[in-house]
Structure 1
Amino acid sequence: MDKHPYFRRKTPDELLHEIHESNRGKLKLYVGFAPGVGKTYKMLQDAHDMAKEGIDVVIGLIETHSRKETEKQVGTLEHVPLKQIKYRNKVFYELHVEAIIKRKPHVVLVDELAHTNIRGSKNPKRYLDVEEILNAGIDVMSAVNIQHLESVHDIVENITGIKIRERLPDTFINMANEIQLIDTTPITLRKRLAEGKIYAPEKIQQSLTHFFTESNLSALRELVLREIANDVDEKIEKTHGDNYKGPIGVHEKILVCVQYSQTAEKLIRRGWRMANRLKADLYVLTVIDQDPNDMTDVIKQKIKYWEALCEQLHATFLIEQKNKRKPAQVIVNIAKKYYITQILIGQSARTRWEEIVRGSIVNEIMRNTTNIDIHIVADK
């Protein structure tokens, strides 16, 4: 019975990890695509709702940036005094981690997650302060913009022409228990900026013509929407694990099944067009009978061409040996492994794929998967 994964005895390290996670505070992130979308405002709004419900919530650090709406929203929430640090004959104020842990509220608000602490602070970055608070068993609500995420640094620089200095690792974001997207339209955000609701008057015109152009904001907004969608999918996939019943996330993944016919390249290009429109990941699968080393030179050349085409189209090329499985079962296994949402198959397939014409492969795929759309592409 111990061999069954459900009944497997957990190791001491696994038990310790579970205990640590159960005692660790929960992290909620408010994520936006640019300053001024309303992350801090919404975080404060939620904090007031929690306080009304009797939850012990305090402010660790809030950056209002002199925005009147945000300052008003602070209201009567309790503040934990900031820590004073003297550096180069100036006094700076940083998050007081020790005071927060000593106060031990149920929830603490910490703004500007990617902030770099002044020299002399215990931790070099604010997200490390948050990590320490979480490990003390205190829940944290924090805010960050997409441009501060390490993995999108180069993309953001290409979009805006601006190098973002303050960044935080994706691994920290991935630990969040909840991520809330704070969204608005680029036009609305530019209007708020022009009205003086985001920056001081002397910064408005420069911001409108540099970082806050409509094209920049549209690109950043699409970037944050895709990142949040990917995060949702990853969490769903991890949660389901072996109990997978089909893709239920929001990020499309397309699988093109090809064989040695004239329609193969057509299918790959059709799949790419679909993937491009849907902003989806593209996978191309071919199923082989024999060991790859035993394939004829003609077949090897064909596969080499498909690989080159996939590389050009930024698609993932997959070769699977049947090993006594039916082609349909191979497709099902790959679809489950990569959380595929749509499958493309050619209508004109013959030889081992000739069952497609009779519909048996399609039927078998449909019987063994859920939430996957199947497209049969005509040869002409």
Structure 2
Amino acid sequence: MATSVSTTQRPTAQDFLELVERGKRGRLKLYVGFAAGVGKTWRMLEEAHALARRGVDVVGALIETHGRAETAALIGDLEVVPRRKIEYRGVAVEELDLEAVLARAPAVAIVDEIPHTNVPGSRNRKRYQDVLDLLGAGVNVIGALNIQHLESLNDLIARNTGVTVRETVPDSFVEQADQIVNLDLAVEDLVERLRTGKIYPPDKIPWALEHFFRDANLATLRELSLREVAESLDRSAAQRVPLGAPAQRASGRVMVCLSSNPPHALALLRRGSRMAGRLNTDWYVVYVETPREAPARIDAEAQRHLLANVDKARELGAEVVRLKSSDPAAALIDFARAHRVSDVIVGRTNLPWWRRLGRGTVLERLVREGEGLDLHVVSFFEEEPRA
């Protein structure tokens, strides 16, 4: 799906309306920022009112004001679907009422805080999955998220800011967006907004300034946000080939090599997702089951981690392949050559030297025998370990 990205000029309601009129599946527009307070909810509400003035049936499916009076006032006469109340551990929790929005069937739904994790008992585990259901039902969605919630950036952000983001969305979700609007703001202006109480209540401001809202953190996140949107624009331009122009050679695919129970599987998967996104290509996660790793022979914990890693890989947009072989290196090389793989991602082994005697580790053999393959070895320095 092609992605239209705007960073220099402000898209109008008419821009999005033109996208709405194409096709039966709902269209997705995302407002992306680098931190809370850059104005995502405000801009969504402004666009909602602009669409309503044009006669478009638009509702607020989930609007999060974070207690900001100015944002709450901007809702005005916009129709808002009441939230669903779910009791969890004795506490009433409010969530997006997906069933009510689907029954209402508006032309456009506004959905805030897309990376949010739904309370147990909801139809979907994550709010972005609610958005996918709305799109599948033909409802167009305008949503918002911050760049640090992008799954493939999780390890990079943890290393550079010291902040571990728990709620993420897969890159494959963002890649489905028809429009991505980057909301940029000078770091100094954002910090001033925080100090004057326009982002968090007064009691939370000192903590925010000492932790997430440090100048260095914000500068890093702002740079990442600008870069990600620019790369999305590059990928979109590469996909649009003018009629009659010579076809360009497709880039090779990416393959992530996964063992049965690697301690840093998430880092490998995120690296694969990110590389595939930059190359605008498909990617595989390949696990080679050796005779000693047959399901009946590995312990229950390793089997559980393997299944969880497979689910995460599919969530991130990979095609998961399970091979059986007594020679993992040969199986991986054969698969790569048969499926036009150009880039192979592996983790650095920590095996002691006495366990590497003989034919060598899978990594060593990929180096020796993987002629024509670009090998990317992930060191996991300060990467997030397995939970």
Task: Please say whether Structure 1 and Structure 2 have the same fold, judged by a TM-score greater than 0.5.
Answer: yes
Q: Which residue number in structure 1 is paired with residue 86 of structure 2?
A: 85
2:30 is aligned to: 29
Listed one character per residue, the Cα deviations across residues 298-347 of structure 1 (whole Å, up to 9, x for unaligned) are xxxxxxxxxxxx999xxxxxxxxxxxxxxxxxxxxxxxxxxxxxxxxxxx
TM-score, length of structure 1 as denominator length: 0.58
Number of the residue aligned with 2:65: 64
CA distance in 2, matches of 1:211, 1:232: 28
Measured in 2, the distance between the counterparts of 1:57 and 1:214 equals 37
In 2, Cα distance between equivalents of 1:177 and 1:54: 22
TM-score normalised by the chain length of structure 2: 0.57
Where does residue 74 of structure 1 map in the other structure?
A: 75
Contact 2:65–2:72 under 8 Å retained in 1: yes
Relative to structure 1, the CA distance from residue 244 to residue 168 in structure 2 (aligned partners, 3 Å threshold; closer, same or farther) is: farther
Residue equivalent to 2:222: 221
Q: Which residue number corresponds to residue 138 of structure 2? A: 137
CA distance, structure 2, for counterparts of residue 244 and residue 31 of structure 1: 33
Is this contact kept in 1: 2:31–2:181, CA < 8 A?
A: yes
Q: Which moved more, 1:63-72 or 1:109-118?
A: 63-72
Identical counterparts, % of pairs: 47
Q: What amino acid sits opposite 2:119 in the alignment?
A: I
Aligned-pair CA distance for 1:67 = 1.1
Question: What is the Cα deviation at residue 79 of structure 1?
Answer: 0.8
C-alpha distance in 2, partners of 1:54/1:43?
A: 17
Unaligned stretches of 5+ residues in structure 2? 1-21, 249-277, 280-373, 377-387
Q: Aligned to 1:131, what secondary structure does the other structure show? A: helix
| 2:347 counterpart residue number | none
Q: CA deviation at 1:32?
A: 0.2
Shift of 1:242: 7.7
Which 4+ runs in 1 deviate beyond 6 A?
none
Confirm whether residue 171 of structure 1 aligns to residue 172 of structure 2.
yes
Map 1:1-380 to 2 at 5 A: 22-240=23-241
Q: 1:23 is paired with a residue of what secondary structure? A: coil
Provide the residue aligned with 1:250 in structure 2.
none
Aligned-partner Cα distance in 1 for 2:195–2:173: 34
1:22 shift after superposition: 2.7
C-alpha distance in 2, partners of 1:54/1:241?
34
Between Structure 1 and Structure 2, how many residues are aligned?
235
CA distance in 2, matches of 1:96, 1:243: 47
Partners of 2:238 and 2:34 lie apart in 1 by 25
Q: Return the letter of the residue paired with 2:231.
A: N
The DSSP-based 3-state class of the residue aligned with 2:241 is helix
Structure 2: distance between partners of 1:244 and 1:150:
35
Shift of 1:245: 8.0
Deviation of 1:167 (Å):
0.3
With CA pairs under 8 Å and 6+ residues apart, which has the higher RCO, 1 or 2? 2
Q: CA deviation at 1:162?
A: 1.0
Q: Which residue of 1 aligns with 2:341?
A: none
1:234 CA displacement: 0.6
Give, as a single letter, the amino acid of the residue that structure 1 aligns with 2:110.
L
Cα distance between partner residues in 1 of 2:58 and 2:75: 12
> Which amino acid is 2:202 matched to?
P
Match of 2:379 in 1: none
Note if contact 2:150-2:169 (Cα within 8 Å) is conserved in structure 1: yes
Matched residue type, 2:166:
R
Structure 1 residues 116-171: Cα deviation after superposition (integer angstroms, max 9, x where no partner): 00000010000000100110101001000000000100111112211100001000
- Cα shift at 1:86: 1.4
Residue 83 of structure 1, CA deviation:
1.1
Gaps of 5+ in 1: 1-20, 248-279, 282-309, 313-380
Code of the aligned partner of 1:152: L
Whole-Å separation in 2 of the counterparts to 1:53 and 1:22: 20
**1:201-242 Cα deviation digits (max 9, x unpaired):** 111111112111111111110101010011111111112178
Q: 8 Å contact 2:119–2:125 — kept in the other structure?
A: yes
Q: Is the 8 A contact 2:241 2:247 kept in 1?
A: no
Letter in 2 for 1:145: N
**How big is the shift at 1:46?**
0.6
How much is the aligned-residue C-alpha RMSD, in angstroms? 2.6
- The change in CA–CA distance for 1:98 and 1:311 in structure 2 (over 3 A counts) is closer
User: Aligned equivalents of 2:185 and 2:246: distance in 1?
Assistant: 34
Aligned-partner Cα distance in 2 for 1:163–1:222? 18
